[in-house]
Amino acid sequence: MLKNYKELKVWQKSYKFCLEIYRITAKFPKEEKYGLISQIRESIVSISANIAEGYGRKQTLESLTPGILGPFSPIRVALTAGRNLSLLKKQINKFKPEVVSVIDDEHAGKLREMLGHLAVPKILSGEGGYREVASWEKTDMVVSAISGAAGLSPTIAAIDAGKDIALANKETMVMAGKLVIARAASRGVNIIPVDSEHSAIFQCLKGHNKKEVKRLILTASGGPFLNLPLERFAYIKLEDALRHPNWEMGRKITIDSASMMNKGLEVIEAGWLFDMDVGRIDVCVHPQSIVHSMVEYVDGSVIAQMGVPDMRGPISYALSYPERLQGVVDTLDLCSVGALEFINPDYAKFPALEVAYTAAGKGGSAPAVLNASNEVAVEAFIEGKIRFVDIALIVNEVLDSHLTKEIGSIKDVLEADGWGRIKAGEIIEKRKVS
Measured from each CB, the residue nearest to Mg ion is 195
> Residue type at 8?
L
Give me the least distance between CB of 197 and Mg ion, in Å please.
5
Beta bridge partners of 27: none
Give me the least distance between CB of 266 and Mg ion, in Å please.
6
- Comparing CB distances to Mg ion, the nearer of 88 and 261 is 261
Give me the least distance between CB of 265 and Mg ion, in Å please.
9
Rounded to whole angstroms, the maximal C-alpha distance in the chain is 71
- Comparing CB distances to Mg ion, the nearer of 21 and 49 is 49
- Comparing CB distances to Mg ion, the nearer of 91 and 371 is 371
Residues in the chain: 434
d(CA 310, CA 329): 7
Give the strand pairing for 281-285 and 302-306: unpaired
Residue pair 268/374 in contact by the 8 Å Cβ criterion = no
Give me the least distance between CB of 147 and Mg ion, in Å please.
13
- Comparing CB distances to Mg ion, the nearer of 132 and 269 is 269
Give me the least distance between CB of 55 and Mg ion, in Å please.
8
Among 9-17, 192-200, 274-282, 368-376, which window interacts with Mg ion (CB under 5 A)?
192-200
The DSSP symbol for 404 reads: -
- Comparing CB distances to Mg ion, the nearer of 101 and 257 is 257
Residue pair 213/204 in contact by the 8 Å Cβ criterion = no
- Comparing CB distances to Mg ion, the nearer of 197 and 375 is 197
Among 3-11, 75-83, 193-201, 224-232, which window interacts with Mg ion (CB under 5 A)?
193-201
- Comparing CB distances to Mg ion, the nearer of 42 and 197 is 197
Helices 15-24, 30-40: axis angle to 10 degrees equals: 160
- Residues 243 to 302 in contact with Mg ion, rule: CB under 5 A: none
d(CA 214, CA 362): 22
Residue pair 62/87 in contact by the 8 Å Cβ criterion = no
Tell which one of 42, 53, 171, 195 touches Mg ion (CB under 5 A): 195
Among 189-197, 320-328, 333-341, 408-416, which window interacts with Mg ion (CB under 5 A)?
189-197
Give me the least distance between CB of 14 and Mg ion, in Å please.
28
Sheet with 302-306, side-by-side order of all strands: 281-285, 213-220, 291-297, 302-306
CA dihedral 107, 108, 112, 114 (to 10 degrees): 20
Report, in angstroms and rounded to the nearest whole number, the Rg of the chain calculated over CA atoms: 21
Within 10 angstroms of residue 304's Cβ, the number of other Cβ atoms is: 18
Give me the least distance between CB of 288 and Mg ion, in Å please.
15
Among 47-55, 80-88, 194-202, 375-383, which window interacts with Mg ion (CB under 5 A)?
194-202
The DSSP symbol for 414 reads: H
Preceding amide of 351 cis, omega within 30? no
- Compute how many residues bind Mg ion; rule: CB under 5 A: 3
- Comparing CB distances to Mg ion, the nearer of 158 and 260 is 260
Among 63-71, 156-164, 195-203, 396-404, which window interacts with Mg ion (CB under 5 A)?
195-203
Among 108-116, 130-138, 190-198, 317-325, which window interacts with Mg ion (CB under 5 A)?
190-198
Q: Is 375 in the site for Mg ion (CB under 5 A)?
A: no
- Comparing CB distances to Mg ion, the nearer of 134 and 261 is 261
d(CA 141, CA 162): 9
3-state class percentages of the chain: helix first, strand second, coil last, to nearest 5: 50, 15, 35
d(CA 288, CA 36): 30
d(CA 122, CA 92): 11
- Comparing CB distances to Mg ion, the nearer of 266 and 390 is 266
Among 56-64, 197-205, 214-222, 238-246, which window interacts with Mg ion (CB under 5 A)?
197-205
Give me the least distance between CB of 53 and Mg ion, in Å please.
15
Give me the least distance between CB of 171 and Mg ion, in Å please.
13
Where do contacts with Mg ion occur on this chain (CB under 5 A)?
195-197
